[in-house]
Amino acid sequence: MEGFTSEASFMLNAAGNAFIIMMDPTRLAFLGMGALFGLILGILPGVGGLAGTAMLLPFTFDMDPYTAFAFLLGLGATTATGDPIPAILFGVPGGAASAATVLDGYPMAKRGEAGRALSAAYMSSLMGGIFGAILLAVSIPILRPVMLFLGSPELLAFAVFGISMVAVLSGRTPLRGLAAACFGIMLAMIGADPQTGTLRWTFDTLYLWDGLPLLPLILGLFALPEMCDLMISRLAISASGEKVNVYKGQWQGVKDCFRHWWLILRCSWIGGGIGSIPGISAAVVDWLAYGHALRTEKGAAATFGKGDVRGVIASESSNNAKEGGALVPTIAFGVPGSASMAILLGAFLIHGLIPGPDMLHKNLNVTYSMVWSVALANLLGAGMCYAFSPQFAKVALLRYTLICPAVLGIIYIGAFEASRNWGDLYALLFFGLVGWVMKQFKWPRPPLILGLVLGDIIERYLFISIGRYGIEWMSRPVVVVLFAMAFIGLTKPLWQDYKTQGGISGILRSYGPARWEWGQLFTLFYLVVVSIMTFMATSWRFNAKIVPLVVGGIAITAIVLSLLNQTFRKPARVLADGEVAPEGTGDNARIHMDLESDTAHLPVKTIILRAALFFTYLMAFMAGTWVIGLIPTLFFFVIAFMRIEAKERWTLVLTYAVCMVVFVTFVFDRIMSIPWPQTLLGEWIPALKGLIPSV
């Protein structure tokens, strides 16, 4: 008992000393600068904290460790606070970790509640971030033996349990959700197989050898479809178009967070816990928290996905808590809990610090200064967001011709940041078209992202577990529990449908004459693509093809069953998206876990023509980028879009275009020094110089 008391006293003294150190005005100033940079990078879709942390790392060389980590963690801790701003206002995720916020935040902005949604996001981020800092403070010495116990079998089981959330994220379309998740897993396997070196689905393209980057896919699936629908509807984001009382909305958002404090606490535990597990991507944290809220919150099935503030609170509280969780393995074991933490390890080496036991004893002051940095950065970030929230919320009232050019330009830059290859832009365009079609025909997109993020993890840890433990890894207690929970989660929707349909006989009676709809064409296209990918896998070596063949077989089965439902289920028992509606519970028994298109009031011909025009704009942007470069193309794109779409006055158009070019040049070219896509003009000029004889 005496030893425990002395240890607690030692830790409290270290925490107090670290707080006094962090109250130095210079360190607070650098912390504030980092927090401001984090908010800005969070608002810019696709850029995120990873690029910002890498950008700021060289500036910390001459700082002391306390100031350096305050600067870097200030940025990392507040990026997630800025992420929901574009997610709520435009339906464009600021980063992969804010994709779930779109489902309820964007509908709230559409109905004039942007201020409330933003305020709820800020406050839940603040509370989640502080909880993450507290979790870091108390868990490092406690979780050390637990973290050492977790091996590849347990990490595999966590990933499988994460995949089981497909059942929740698929909403009322479980077969489509399963098919989309399997397709995401297959996309995750693109590239060189780590077991055999086999090139899987690379199509002799060097770009795909290292796998498909996540950013272009995220921005394509979620960002471009929202911009497309905004252009099709040709309205402001807020459908009401009325001036809203942002300050009243802010206070309502704060009250929402305190009323649902227990939800924030639970989702913070999810974010902090998952963030502390190395190898489990932060991109799934918000979806897991959102799925948890959907399962546990009263009445969630009827309101989630339609503008329920609890959906915003769940995803955002988990996002900020994960930063504190990711620091746990980074500090205690030198194993980065995220990509940003991997860069942070560079700061450890720069300042002569070695992650591990020394950080829990000799350098405990530095460790607790990180805890205070995360907590203070969340306070500063939330404060800055509240200060500018009225201006952010007013963006939702702007007409689409003022929103689309800037957002599309930033999306292209963010997508190119993935691997800085032309393939990023091709992937963005392709998945933008796929995402828009999926949205129109109500195929859930979140399961695809979940499969992409966790697919590679599952395959890698499966082979490691088998190679190291043989078949015995399946009997480990944590693995058994997580597999059982995953099985229950995956089969529960099927069991519910079985009961609501009255058993096998009821299901058979629900079939009737064939019906044909436009959505069946996309289902057939999906079936053809997956079948071709599965057939291509049959010629690979055994270790390279076993998982793709199993996943492809499951996907084909799910797609065929979904197609049969679309074609033969009686209309009275089928929802708009082709899946069966449970009897006696109404169509809202399970929600469509994705944004629904708000262009249904328009004629089909108008929707197709305007969508074709939108993607023509995108292809023209890429063509201009290829010929003269991205920044010059942005200038002409803004002018062409605003003049063609709405004949905006020339003074506004030229001012807008110049401001965009100046902003992009200053931020991305001068400060971040981004290498831009190679251009045809850039190849011609050296060639022309070679043809001109020197005088």
Which residues are CB-contacts of 393 (< 8 A; sequence separation ≥ 6)?
89, 109, 114, 115, 118, 244, 246, 249
Helices (H), 417-512: 422-440, 446-469, 477-500, 503-509
Report the C-alpha gap between 513 and 568 in whole angstroms: 6
507 and 625 share one domain = no
Q: How many Cα atoms occupy the beta-carbon half-sphere of 189 within 13 Å?
A: 31
Report the C-alpha gap between 346 and 324 in whole angstroms: 18
Q: What are phi and psi of 527, to 5 degrees?
A: -65, -40
256 and 143 share one domain = yes
Average pLDDT over residues 169-188: 82
Instruction: Note whether residue 7 is domain-resident.
Output: no
Instruction: Note whether residue 64 is domain-resident.
Output: yes
Average pLDDT over residues 225-248: 67
User: Confidence class of residue 366 from pLDDT cuts 50, 70 and 90?
Assistant: confident
Give the per-residue pLDDT at 543: 85
- Tokens encoding 474: 């399946």
536 and 682 share one domain = no
Which has more confidence, 442 or 429?
429
- Cβ burial of 346 (10 Å; 0-12, 13-18, 19+) is middle
Instruction: Note whether residue 582 is domain-resident.
Output: no
- Tokens encoding 447: 């399961």
DSSP at 663: H
- Read off the pLDDT of residues 91-112 as tens digits, 9 standing for 90 and up: 766 665 677 888 888 888 888 8
- Of 538, 573, 608, which residue is a domain's last? 573
Is residue 412 pLDDT above 80, yes or no? Answer: yes
- Of 540, 557, 573, which residue is a domain's last? 573
Instruction: Note whether residue 593 is domain-resident.
Output: no
Q: What are phi and psi of 578, to 5 degrees?
A: 95, 0
Q: How many Cα atoms occupy the beta-carbon half-sphere of 80 within 13 Å?
A: 38
Where is average pLDDT lowest: 171-175, 291-295, 311-315, 543-547?
Answer: 171-175
Residues in the chain: 695
Which residues are CB-contacts of 578 (< 8 A; sequence separation ≥ 6)?
173, 442, 517, 519, 562, 565, 566, 569
Sign of the alpha-carbon dihedral angle for 297, 302, 304, 308? negative
Domain span at residue 654?
618-691
79 and 151 share one domain = yes
User: Confidence class of residue 420 from pLDDT cuts 50, 70 and 90?
Assistant: confident
Contact by Cβ (8 Å): 223, 230: no
481 and 539 share one domain = yes
288 and 141 share one domain = yes
Average pLDDT over residues 154-163: 78
- Cβ burial of 297 (10 Å; 0-12, 13-18, 19+) is buried
Instruction: Note whether residue 600 is domain-resident.
Output: no
168 and 264 share one domain = yes
Number of domains in the chain: 2
Per-residue DSSP letters for 491-557?
HHHHHHHHHHTTHHHHHHHTB-S----THHHHHHHHHHHHHHHHHHHTTS-HHHHHHHHHHHHHHHH
Report the C-alpha gap between 95 and 102 in whole angstroms: 11
219 and 114 share one domain = yes
Instruction: Note whether residue 612 is domain-resident.
Output: no
- Read off the pLDDT of residues 51-69 as tens digits, 9 standing for 90 and up: 566 556 666 767 788 888 8
Angle in degrees, 0-180, between the axes of helices 25-43 and 48-56, rounded to the nearest 10: 140
Distances (CA, A) of 150 to 143, 144, 147: 11, 10, 5
Contact by Cβ (8 Å): 134, 321: no
- Read off the pLDDT of residues 203-220 as tens digits, 9 standing for 90 and up: 888 888 888 887 788 788
Q: How far is CA 465 from the centre of its chain?
A: 28
521 and 628 share one domain = no
Per-residue DSSP letters for 78-128?
HHHHHTHHHHHHHS--SSGGGTTHHHHHHHHHHTT-HHHHHHHHHHHHHHH
Sign of the alpha-carbon dihedral angle for 596, 599, 604, 610? negative
Average pLDDT over residues 380-407: 75
Report the C-alpha gap between 324 and 32 in whole angstroms: 18
Q: How many Cα atoms occupy the beta-carbon half-sphere of 581 within 13 Å?
A: 15
Where is average pLDDT lowest: 303-317, 394-408, 420-434?
Answer: 394-408
Which residues sit opposite 192 in a β-bridge? 199
Give the chain's largest Cα–Cα span: 91
DSSP at 612: H
Which residues sit opposite 580 in a β-bridge? 574
Contact by Cβ (8 Å): 449, 287: yes
Per-residue DSSP letters for 182-227?
HHHHHHHT-EE-TTT--EES-TT-GGGTT---HHHHHIIIIIHHHH
Instruction: Note whether residue 242 is domain-resident.
Output: yes
425 and 530 share one domain = yes
Which residues are CB-contacts of 235 (< 8 A; sequence separation ≥ 6)?
241, 399, 400
- Of 518, 549, 573, which residue is a domain's last? 573
Which residues sit opposite 200 in a β-bridge? 191
Output the CA angle 286-289-291, nearest 5 degrees: 105
Closest CA to 167 of 430, 497, 415, 405: 497
Q: Report the share of the chain in percent with pLDDT over 90.
A: 9
Give the per-residue pLDDT at 615: 93
- Read off the pLDDT of residues 554-604 as tens digits, 9 standing for 90 and up: 899 989 988 888 887 765 444 444 444 443 333 334 555 556 666 767 788
Report the C-alpha gap between 291 and 268 in whole angstroms: 14
Report the C-alpha gap between 562 and 578 in whole angstroms: 8
Give the per-residue pLDDT at 578: 44
525 and 673 share one domain = no
Which residues sit opposite 442 in a β-bridge? none
Radius of gyration of the chain (CA): 25
Average pLDDT over residues 449-458: 79
Q: How far apart are the first and last CA of the chain?
A: 89
Instruction: Note whether residue 496 is domain-resident.
Output: yes
Report the C-alpha gap between 17 and 25 in whole angstroms: 15
- Read off the pLDDT of residues 623-653 as tens digits, 9 standing for 90 and up: 998 888 888 999 999 999 999 888 888 999 9
Contact by Cβ (8 Å): 438, 221: yes
Is residue 479 pLDDT above 70, yes or no? Answer: yes
- Read off the pLDDT of residues 507-563 as tens digits, 9 standing for 90 and up: 677 777 777 777 788 889 999 999 999 999 999 888 888 889 999 998 999 899 888
- Give the burial string for 426-456 (b: 16+ CB within 10 Å, else e): ebbbebbbbbbbbbbbbbbbbbbbbbbbbbb
Strand, helix or coil at 580?
strand
pTM: 0.70
Report the C-alpha gap between 575 and 372 in whole angstroms: 51
Q: How far is CA 468 from the centre of its chain?
A: 33
Q: What is the mean pLDDT of the chain?
A: 77
Report the C-alpha gap between 258 and 305 in whole angstroms: 21
Give the per-residue pLDDT at 205: 85
Q: What are phi and psi of 543, to 5 degrees?
A: -65, -25
- Give the burial string for 532-546 (b: 16+ CB within 10 Å, else e): ebbeebeebeeebbb
193 and 313 share one domain = yes
